Structure 1
Amino acid sequence: MFTSHDGLCGIGELAERAGVTVKAVRFYSDNGLLPEASRSAGGHRRYGPDALGRLRLLRSLRTLGLPVREVRRVLEEEGDGADGVLEDAVAGQLRALGSQLTALRWREAGMRLVLECPPGERADRLRLIGAVTTPPSTASLARFWRAWLPPRMPARATAAFLEVAVPQPPDDPEPAQVLAFARLHALVTRPCTGAEQPQPEAHKAGGSRAPAVLYAGLAQAYELAGAQLRRGAEPRPGEELDSFVDAYTSAYGSRDTPAFRRLLTGQLAADPRIDRYWELAADVITAPGGPREPTPGTAHDWLFAALGAQTAAAG
């Protein structure tokens, strides 16, 4: 309760009791967040007893960094709904903070990258990292693959492939990971030198369902091969290779025979490769000094090596 005879207080007393500035009280009042009880004969603001608690809540919400529009939503809700609105507002602010922290970590790692490199390489590294947003966006990588995948790929199959083919940048990167992502972005955004991007022969498989069947099968085979790569196993025939070959037989409508495996070996050997993409993708997701994380590219190489060894042994 305020000490004045009418139970109201002026803006200065209210600000002092709440631990905020008079300017802040005036701002909240002008924006309708802190209603005035009345005005004095001289036009000065007067506040009722409830204003102190409301002002302290305003201060707390703003200390958490909630924008004015979210503060207004919390204050306008009453009863059981108020907690839900507050929870949503704080969760949204946490997401925004997480994005800001990620951006700061990427900037810090980028600065370290420039600072720690030889002077002769700084201009090139500045150019590379300057082309990447913070936090980094993978949109350029997704566009690259959408242009490369078969045009008949269903949207769901394309989304499933992008999920494994596009590396997700770490929230707290090392300088080497920043450099790898910047180089990857430069790789996929450089101008094409040919009339069109070379496509694997498998993309010409007939039928509207063939591309989806092929890539769904390859995803399963790559997952199996990835487990072998993590164990450090050498390429060899087995369930992983059978799944790999089955993806192609299903897409082509063929049977799995020794002759088909020989034909597939030759086709895959002649197909265009994107090795540099997969090397950089692995560098993005693998912390320096840590175990190398498999990618669809390294899984494909493991399976192709297993297929080549098998067909060579069979003569």
Structure 2
Amino acid sequence: MTAPASASASFSDSEPVSVPCEGTWSIGELAQQAGVTVKTVRFYSDRGLLPAASRSTGGHRRYGPEALDRLRLIRSLRALDLPLPQVDRVLAHDDAGTDPDTALQDALADQLSALGTQLTALRWREAALHLLHDCTTAERADRLRLIGAMTTPPNTTALARFWRHILPPRLPARLLSTILDEAVPQPPADPTPPQVLTFARLHAVVTNPHVLDISICGPTPRPPSGPCRPAVLYEGLREAYELAATDVRTQQTPHAGEALDCFVAAHAGLRDTPDTPAFRRQLSTQLAHIAHPLIDRYWQLAAEVPTPTPRPTIGACDDWLRTALDRQLA
């Protein structure tokens, strides 16, 4: 059975090679065969990527024919912008006589991921430039200020921090993670100029100093006495929003039903009180007084961000259910 070819052999090209005199080349001769400079060969040799086969009597490095294939492999990997440590890992597998393909695949996967990140950043920069270029003089100064305040592509850390401040403390980690996943829109990889503007405005909302004024136990204010069970509230609200999502998406008129009952029950559970007509009237009044313009603006902007599966935002579902409650009481 024929032994598998080494990585060096598999990557060598078909250029003619002069047989080295006495079996080895000097550093200059190897550089000439490979079409590179002596400085390049010395650099890879000093890094340990291209070991010499022997030393001359004068102490100069001598290289065997296998060094040419190895040098060509190094050049191929470096042409793909693979970092030297990754090149070293691929060569280490080859030196050990093991299949280097796994190390090579890992290195290529890492490089593809890094390149994808760079391309996304370039697309965001391009869209931002179009946004600034294709607008009026009056708009340009404000847009430049908004875009200059965020990174491109935007980092969603500020958006998550906004909700961590607003949401009640000590929510179960799983529940908090689920809410953040649903509340924080993800930047598209290939944005349009309007989407860049939307994220810039979102960033302005969540970094507004007045965010610090928003601090609630939940959408229903905590009573002077009695328990406040935010986990019960937010678990129930998630179920209510899920029940209402189809009607919100299809623009049905807000109405009483299972979604509204679940919505009211969640608020009643927060205060450990029964769902009664009197409680619904009280809840409607309280909800009308706790709306905050920054939160409303956030949901308005979040609705403009495309999602893989079109679905209404939490804010849209909450507005629909509040309206349904008011219509029922009316």
TM norm. shorter chain > 0.5:
yes
Distance 2:145 2:105 in 1: 42
Q: 1:144 is matched with which residue?
A: 162
SS of aligned partner of 2:62:
strand
Superposition TM-score, scaled by structure 1 size: 0.87
Does the alignment pair 1:48 with 2:64? yes
Deviation of the 1:61 alpha carbon: 1.8
Does the alignment pair 1:227 with 2:224? no
Distance 1:107 1:56 in 2: 36
Does the alignment pair 1:196 with 2:213? yes
Query: Would the aligned equivalents of 2:220 and 2:283 in 1 still touch at CA under 8 Å?
Result: no
Distance 1:17 1:227 in 2: 69
Q: 1:283 is matched with which residue?
A: 304
- Pairing 1:164-183 to 2, within 5 Å after superposition: 164-183=182-201
In structure 2, do the counterparts of structure 1 residues 45 and 113 end up closer, same or farther at CA, with 3 Å as the change threshold? same
Query: Would the aligned equivalents of 1:221 and 1:241 in 2 still touch at CA under 8 Å?
Result: yes
Distance 2:33 2:256 in 1: 77
Distance 2:276 2:163 in 1: 31
Q: 1:111 is matched with which residue?
A: 129
Distance 2:144 2:307 in 1: 22
SS of aligned partner of 1:135:
coil
In structure 2, do the counterparts of structure 1 residues 309 and 70 end up closer, same or farther at CA, with 3 Å as the change threshold? same
In structure 2, do the counterparts of structure 1 residues 23 and 203 end up closer, same or farther at CA, with 3 Å as the change threshold? farther
Q: 1:29 is matched with which residue?
A: 45
Deviations 1:199-240 (A, max 9, x none): 3552537547x2122112212222332232222322222232
- Worse-matched range after superposition: 218-227 or 197-206: 197-206
SS of aligned partner of 2:291:
coil
Deviation of the 1:44 alpha carbon: 4.3
Q: 2:27 is matched with which residue?
A: 11
Structure 2 counterpart of 1:75, one-letter code: L
Q: 2:13 is matched with which residue?
A: none
In structure 2, do the counterparts of structure 1 residues 15 and 232 end up closer, same or farther at CA, with 3 Å as the change threshold? farther
Query: Would the aligned equivalents of 1:198 and 1:272 in 2 still touch at CA under 8 Å?
Result: no
Structure 2 counterpart of 1:76, one-letter code: A
- Pairing 1:22-171 to 2, within 5 Å after superposition: 22-41=38-57, 43-77=59-93, 78=96, 82-171=100-189
Q: 1:247 is matched with which residue?
A: 266
Does the alignment pair 1:299 with 2:317? yes
Distance 1:241 1:278 in 2: 20
Query: Would the aligned equivalents of 2:163 and 2:180 in 1 still touch at CA under 8 Å?
Result: yes
Superposition TM-score, scaled by structure 2 size: 0.83
Q: 2:237 is matched with which residue?
A: 218
Distance 1:246 1:21 in 2: 77
How much is the aligned-residue C-alpha RMSD, in angstroms? 2.6
Deviation of the 1:57 alpha carbon: 2.1
Q: Give unpaired runs (5+ residues) of structure 1.
A: none
Deviations 1:262-284 (A, max 9, x none): 22222211222321111111223
Deviations 1:5-59 (A, max 9, x none): 3222233443454454443322211111111112334554321122122222212
SS of aligned partner of 1:132:
coil
Distance 1:230 1:22 in 2: 67
Identical-residue share of aligned pairs (%): 58
Distance 2:134 2:125 in 1: 14
Structure 1 counterpart of 2:289, one-letter code: A
Structure 1 counterpart of 2:61, one-letter code: R
In structure 2, do the counterparts of structure 1 residues 190 and 104 end up closer, same or farther at CA, with 3 Å as the change threshold? same
Deviation of the 1:169 alpha carbon: 1.0
- Worse-matched range after superposition: 98-107 or 303-312: 303-312
Distance 1:304 1:130 in 2: 37
Distance 1:9 1:177 in 2: 59
Distance 1:281 1:71 in 2: 43
Deviation of the 1:84 alpha carbon: 3.2
Q: Give unpaired runs (5+ residues) of structure 2.
A: 1-16
Q: 2:285 is matched with which residue?
A: 266
Query: Would the aligned equivalents of 1:285 and 1:293 in 2 still touch at CA under 8 Å?
Result: no
Distance 1:228 1:61 in 2: 55
